[in-house]
Each structure stands twice: as structure tokens, then as C-alpha cells.
A and B are shown apart, each in its own frame.
Chain A
Amino acid sequence: MSPAVSKMAQSLERAYTVLGALLLVSISGLMFVDVIGRYFLNKPVKGAFDLVEALMALCAFWFLPLLSRDDRHISVTLLRAGSGMVARIQQSLIEIICLAVAVLMGYGLFETALEYQQIQESSLILGLPKAPFVMVCAVVVMLMAIAHVSRLIRILTPKEPAS
């Protein structure tokens, strides 16, 4: 990867991570303002419930690609081979299963987003359309699938030792 591309990838990743952090902080801020508004000013934030629900859905999926890339999902690994060919086969199979699950999730969410778009599914109070949020979740899950593809490629094409 050329330095320019690598730098751009890093900036994109940083922006993606910051956006995820802001999602979480905004849930907290929204909840705080809503509670203060409700109890002290008798003016709760209109539709806070809908907004928190939508932000929560994005938060639940947002960090999955980063976890997949860094192999940080919760695992047990009692029978994992140490090194060599057996370990590579085992590692590849793990990545293939994770990839299949990610594609299944992404495909399903994508289909659901299209269906929500058709039936104009929306939230209760604000009438917020659900389809765009589900579509974002689908895209994020597809990023997770890409993370598993990249890990699989790395396992299948180990670096030649320097001569």
C-alpha cells in the first residue's frame, strides 16, 4: 500500500471511530438533557425515545468491523492450535465462518431496509423513517465482512521470511 493510500485509510478510520464515539456520547447527552428538561423545566426533548432507539441501533453495530479487524470478539479458544499448517487451516475456517455470518447478517439487514422503505416503516413519535438506519447497519456489517476477508487473505498469504 502506498504511503498516500495508507494515510488516507488511517484518516478514514479515525473519522469512522470518532463518529462512533460521538454516537455514544450523543445518547448520553440526549438522555441528560431530556431528564433535566423533564424534571426541572417541565419540557422533555420531543421524540427523545425515538432518537435514542435509532442511535442505539447504530451504536450496537458501529464498532463490529473494528472488533473483527483486531480479532477482539469474545472467544473461548480452548482448542486453538499454536502454529504451523494446522493452525493456519483452523484460523482460515474460523474466518470463513465469521465471514459467512457477517454476510448473512448484512444481507438480511439490507433486505429488511428495502422492505422498511417499501412499507414506510417509521418511529412512533417523530415518524423517523427506519429504513436509512437499518441500511447504515447493513453497510457497517458488510464492512465487518470485509474485515474478515482481509484477515483470511492475510492468513492464506503469509509473508515470505526476509532473505
Chain B
Amino acid sequence: MSIALIGFASVLLLAFLGVPLGFSMLAVGFVGFAWLRGLEPALVMVPQTLVDSSFTFGLSVIPLFILMGVFIHRSGVSEELYDTAQTWLGHFRGGLAHATVAACAMFGMISGSSLAAAATMSKVAIPQMRQRGYSDSLASGSVAAAGVLGMLIPPSVPLMIYGLIADQDIRKLFIAVMIPGLLVALSFIAAILLFAVLRPADLPVGGANKSFREKLSSLKGVIWTLLLFVVVIGGMYGGVFTVTEAAGIGCTMAFFIALLRRGMGLRDMLDCAVDAGKTTGMLFMIVFGAMVFANFINLSGFAYLLGEWVRGLGLGPVGILLAIALIYILLGCVLETLGLILLTVPIFLPIVTDFGVHPIWFGIFLIMMVEFGQLTPPVGLNVLTVKSVVHDIPTGKIFIGVTPFLIANLIIVALIILFPDIVLAPINWF
């Protein structure tokens, strides 16, 4: 067990010193494996893991959904999503903050990245909110927090990665995340309403209520997003397509939407593909590192020993989940989403499944917990993304602004622990 702990500590140390996460995990995984088994088996294990991890048909969903998101983003729908949400919700007190949450949720329907949602909506929503007198902390905090909906509404890139490493059906994961994703979005709306009661000065009263005709007409702005969502996710839920087929169809549809809306040319298409390719490369380097590291951890017997130790503590499943949640909150402060998932799933998944926790349920719980890391100091990437767009708001203010949303998210996590069927029941509906 001690060699595995040294391995974990080494990965964290190397990563904190600035060695890219994928390289840290691969280096430590290789050295640890060689220590336990010898150099020659380690030299065979590394390339075999690389080949097995890359020559995988199922993995094609990742670049394809990323490319779909890039195409649709370039087609300029984000501004229209916000305008539509504003038309419907802008007359409430704090209406622009509500609109931000709604627009991020809709953006999440076409992009699996929380950073893309935060970066896009920062440019669109924060200037308008500040102009209308919203406090800086609420304006920036609501965008940073609502950005995580990109991870919680399918297609979600972190959930796909979980499905692949935990060997779980991605379609089922996408079905299971739907209600928790909606609940988190609603809890964010509730947090804004509470904000309006406790600190009314931070949220000005809403504008004039738009007529029903104007509201209906504003839906033109979301028609493409809805169409893409219905075909891709609806087709997948309905069993018409497999996940990989849905990704291919979605990607091609998104290209044609961009072509129709913005007259995207060949050069633009290639630029989008290069963008998506680079993101894919970043993800795969971490996947490679994590797979090699997981081989070392499995060989060390760490998960088994840790499981025995945990069983010895006499905690029930809820106690274990609370302990894991606490670990995620702490690790989330220093590790980014993907590293956190890849580093911890091989350890925690066998333990929780031993306690009768469903692996699909654990995937959703995991995504909701790693969301925290996107919003907590010092490396809350969503917060830093917002900061990179609005330089004049101090980072501390943004972290304060996301606090009510973190609490709202925790309440939903508690709900899914108390009522696991919120996650599991929909799997049987489709």
C-alpha cells in the first residue's frame, strides 16, 4: 500500500511543480510498475496501454462531440441563446442572472465543456449584467457557476471519459445525468432567488415583460440548438443511434448548421477541426498517463487494501460516499476535472461497488463532485476562465460570487444520495 501512496504523492508533487498531468502520471506509473514487476514488463506495458487506449472505436465519441461543440460555437448561437433566455426571464428580479443559467444549460446541450460555456457566456452576459447594476460578484459568479452545467447536461465530455474508463454504457450515463442536471440548473435559479431576498441591492428589478409574440419570435434563436439536441440526444435516448453514431451525425449536422448560418468555408472548417484536434490531444495525453498509472495502482493492490481498510472502519455506504465527497472537495482545490476523474476512479469505483453502489449512479455523483473543483480556489478553472475575460473583477470576488451556487449544488448531491432513483430510474424509461 505504501508504494501506491508514494506514487500518488509523486504524481501530485510533479504536477504541482508544473510537469503536465499526463506526463506526471505516465512517468510515475512506469517507474512504479517497473519497481514492482521489473523494467522489461514495464517497457511492454506502456506501449500496449497506449495502443489499447487509442485503437478504440468507442473513443471516437470524444473528438466528435468536441468538434460538434466547436462547429456550433463558431456558428454564433451563444449570443442568441442568451437573448432568448433574456426575453423570457428578463422581467424577473435578477432576470439576467436567471437568463445566464438558462443560456448555459442550453449551451450545455450542444457542448460538453464547462470551460467553453463559461468563456462564451462571460463575454455575452457579464457586460450586460454590470451595465444593468448587478453586483460584480453575482454577475461573474453566476456565469462561472452556470458554466458547469456544460458538464452536467449531455453530451458531457467528463462523463464520456468516465464511461470509457469505468467500462459503463455512455448512453445510460447520458440518460442518468438528465434529471440531476436539470435539478442543478433549477437549484441555481433558486440560489439567485434567495440572493434577491437576502441581498436585494445586488440584483436590480427586471425590465419590462415582453409580449408573448416577442417571446415566441425569440425562439428562432434556439431552434438550431434544439434541433441538434433532439436529433442527437433524442436519437440516442430513443435507441435510434448508438452513442458513436449520434456523435458522427451531430458533428456533421453542426457543420451544416454553421455552413447555413455563417457561410462557413473550408478554411473555417479546418480551423474548427484543428481546435477540436488540439483539445482531443490534451485529453488523450491525460488518458494515456492515467491508464499507465492505473496499471501500476492495480498491480500494487492498493484498491483492494484500501477497500479492506474502509470496510474495517465500519462505515455504511452513505458514510463512505460522504468521505469520498470530502476527498473530492479537497482534491478538487488542486486538481483539474479530468485528472481528478482519471486518478480516483480506479481506486474508488471498486470500493463503492462493493458496498452496492451502482456504477452509473457513481458516475453522476462523481461529475457533480468534480464540478466543485471547477469553482473552488486556488485552481477553479471556471472562475479563472471568467477572470481571463473580465480582468477588472478581482478573482476573490468571483470566488465569493460562486459560493451560493456551490451550496445549491451540495443540496442536489445530498438529494441524489438520499434518493438514488433520481439518477437510476430514468435508465429504465428509455
Q: Which residues of A contact B (CB under 8 A)?
A: 17-18, 20-25, 27-32, 34-35, 49, 52-57, 59-64, 66-67, 72-80, 90-91, 93-94, 97-98, 100-101, 104-105, 107-109, 111-112, 130, 133-134, 137
Contact = CB atoms under 8 A, between A and B. Distances in A.
B47 interface: yes
B79 interface: no
A94 B59 CA distance: 29
Interface in B268-308: 269-271, 273-274, 276-278, 280-282, 284-286, 288
B249 A60 contact: no
A61 B248 contact: no
A59 B27 contact: no
Given A32-B252, A63-B281, 13 more contacts: A21-B271, A22-B270, A49-B57, A53-B56, A56-B60, A63-B278, A67-B282, A73-B21, A74-B20, A76-B336, A101-B30, A108-B43, A133-B55
Contacts of B20: 73-75, 98
Contacts of B277: 20-21, 23-24, 59, 62-63
Contact of B285 (A25, A32, A53, A64): A64
B50 interface: yes
A76 B15 contact: yes
B14 A32 contact: no
Given A98-B23, A112-B47, A57 B273 contact: no
Contacts of A55: 60
Contact of A98 (B19, B48, B273): B19
27 contacts: A24-B63, A24-B67, A28-B251, A31-B247, A34-B248, A52-B244, A60-B59, A61-B54, A64-B281, A73-B20, A73-B23, A73-B282, A74-B21, A74-B285, A74-B339, A75-B15, A76-B336, A79-B17, A90-B17, A97-B27, A101-B26, A104-B30, A105-B46, A105-B288, A107-B43, A109-B47, A111-B47
A18 to B, nearest CB: 6
Nearest to B71: A28
Contacts of B18: 75-77, 79-80, 90-91, 94
Interface of B: 14-24, 26-27, 30, 43-44, 46-48, 50-51, 53-57, 59-60, 63-64, 67, 241, 244-245, 247-249, 251-252, 255, 269-271, 273-274, 276-278, 280-282, 284-286, 288, 334-336, 338-339, 378-379
A52 B273 CA distance: 16
Contacts of A111: 43, 47
A56 B271 CA distance: 19
Nearest to B378: A78
Contact of A54 (B55, B288, B378): B55
A78 B19 CA distance: 11
Contact of B16 (A20, A28, A78): A78
A73 B19 CA distance: 9
A71 B51 CA distance: 24
Given A94-B17, A98-B19, A78 B334 contact: yes
Contact of A109 (B27, B50, B270): B50
Contact of B54 (A73, A108, A137): A137
A107 B50 CA distance: 12
Contacts of B43: 107-108, 111
B27 A100 contact: yes
Contacts of A57: 51, 54-55
A70 B108 CA distance: 28
